[in-house]
Structure 1
């Protein structure tokens, strides 16, 4: 059993990639999570909403932005019973308006991260980590929040070396 967990939120379907809308069968953050798993042998958990956002990119961003504006906490499909067995949590998400999707906020608020290390990673198309590290520190004040890794979504496969270095830090 691993003492590391990769918890990630990812979105497939129609996405904004390198300036165009493109259909993805697997979201960029999920691809990054699977690569990180290769380097860490961590357990893996996909954070999923009970009511997923639309498959259409434009409808999705309207729904996600509305959730963010009202500080919503979407209901999640499932939670692990506990995170007590994990020392390190790799937390992955796409950058949504300079922070995490609201489903990730719901996940973080569900658990006590005291004494745990949270290593955030995000996929983006030019906006980097935004204020997500600050938000994680605010939500999980008793956790050690390590420096995050911002991965350009359209280049996720080409970022293996950066992910490997980051997992070893």
Structure 2
């Protein structure tokens, strides 16, 4: 009888070991991001490579100014007006995604208003949201919290903030939240 118990225990251990590393592979992952300068795009591409996720660039119908100061003025006005800038594209096959990374730069101490538009455009019930952002000096935590706040019907995993386009620490974070492929 003890030989039988040993075999069953060994089989159960094998099953657990075989399935433990497949969390990311069994999930369909979307990496949605808004990027103005290219920093957030760089980080999003890195996350997509590490997770096997599909990239989706959140693009405004009316592009932001390419020069820094005029862009900050538009971003500030949008924030003050609680604006919802229109997005020119939609996620194909939204319902097939289990996990959605949402990334953006920090603008005026929080997520850009286009992230509100994105979050309000889809049903996040039953999805897992993973926030990420790029920032120069501060307001990382506030921006990650804002993304979670915008998707209250989702389950949320620990977010990540990258300074500029630095990808250091991302692989370890993805392993910690069990989404690395």
Give the TM-score range, shorter chain: 0.7 to 0.9
1:37 to 31, 45, 48: 48
1:7 to 23, 26, 32: 32
TM-score (norm 1): 0.83
Separation in structure 2 between the aligned mates of residue 122 and residue 56 of structure 1, nearest angstrom = 21
Deviation at 1:30, TM superposition (A): 0.4
Residue correspondence of structure 1 range 124-135 to structure 2 within 5 A? 124-135=135-146
Deviation at 1:128, TM superposition (A): 4.0
Separation in structure 2 between the aligned mates of residue 165 and residue 119 of structure 1, nearest angstrom = 15
Moved over 4 A (4+): none
Specify the SS of the correspondent of 1:84.
helix
Separation in structure 2 between the aligned mates of residue 11 and residue 135 of structure 1, nearest angstrom = 19
Specify the SS of the correspondent of 1:77.
coil
Deviation at 1:120, TM superposition (A): 0.8
Specify the SS of the correspondent of 1:53.
coil
Other-structure match for 2:102:
91
Residue correspondence of structure 1 range 72-151 to structure 2 within 5 A? 72-151=83-162
Q: Which has the higher helix share?
A: 2
Deviations 1:139-160 (A, max 9, x none): 221111222111100xx24x34
Runs of at least 5 residues in structure 2 that lack an aligned partner in the other structure: 1-24
Deviation at 1:135, TM superposition (A): 2.4
Separation in structure 2 between the aligned mates of residue 81 and residue 44 of structure 1, nearest angstrom = 11
2:62 to 27, 51, 54: 51
Runs of at least 5 residues in structure 1 that lack an aligned partner in the other structure: 13-26
